[in-house]
Homo-oligomer: A and B are copies of this chain.
Amino acid sequence: MTLAEKAYEALRHDIIRGELAPGRPLRLADLGERYGMGFSPLREALNRLQAERLVTAESLRGFRVAPLSLDELHDAVSLRIVIEVEALKASISQGDDAWASGIVSALYALNVQAARTGAEADIWTLEKRHHAFHRALLAACNSPWTLEFFERLYAATERYRIPVLLASALPVGRDVQAEHGALAQATLDRDAEKASALLSQHYLRTVEDLAGAIRSKQAKLRASG
């Protein structure tokens, strides 16, 4: 793997997890220090991330971590529903046994991790398995463009979820595990209408919870600052 590829993965990772805060300037000297490489591979990685909207760039004024906003969260989630509902229907109509067992296996792994407590309960494994479960649902849609846009939007929305997860700021009156289970069941039953409705609801509830948690956090910041 080339240094530019390593830089791309490291930067993407750190931006999505919020280790590089939204809006923060990405100075080449700092990044060179942080990742142990020269400017060339870093600039290549930053250009890729700019095209993916995880980074913003201004001519002769360098790069920044792309900012977050509630408007963008709503936009991204709305579009995810449109695209993923269609992809889920396509998967349901075309998926084979391998696709179906992929869903079962991804759901099982996700539930195992969600049930863990204490030292074993780390958010990053949970997040990876959550991503894998939602990807498994769409895996048989047979549309590379759809899958690319799914990944783009998943990364965009993950940036909003992670700070909330880290703060354990999600409302408790919701059984996400049950939602995943029902969604998987409807999908495996090849009930496209029901699965689509469950998927949409799942995302709409999530965006409401996230927006609520973010708004209350912002309110606190305003009160204390």
Interface residues of A (CB under 8 A from B): 1-2, 4-5, 40, 43-45, 47-53, 59-60, 72, 75-76, 78-79, 82-83, 86, 143-146, 148-149, 153, 156
How far, in angstroms, from A82 to B90 measured CA to CA in the complex?
12
Nearest-Cβ distance from residue A140 to partner chain B, whole angstroms = 14
Can you report 29 A-B residue pairs in the complex whose CB atoms are below 8 A from each other? A1-B59, A2-B59, A2-B60, A4-B47, A5-B59, A40-B40, A40-B43, A44-B44, A44-B47, A45-B47, A47-B48, A47-B51, A48-B48, A51-B51, A51-B52, A72-B144, A72-B145, A75-B144, A75-B145, A75-B146, A76-B145, A78-B143, A79-B83, A79-B143, A79-B146, A82-B82, A82-B83, A145-B156, A149-B149
B-chain residues with CB within 8 Å of residue A51 when the two chains form the complex: 47-49, 51-52
A139 to B143 alpha-carbon distance, docked (Å): 26
Q: In the complex, which residue of chain B has the Cβ closest to the Cβ of A40?
A: B40
Q: A47-B48, A79-B83, A145-B156 are in contact. List 4 more A-B contacts (CB 8 A).
A: A2-B59, A47-B51, A75-B143, A79-B143
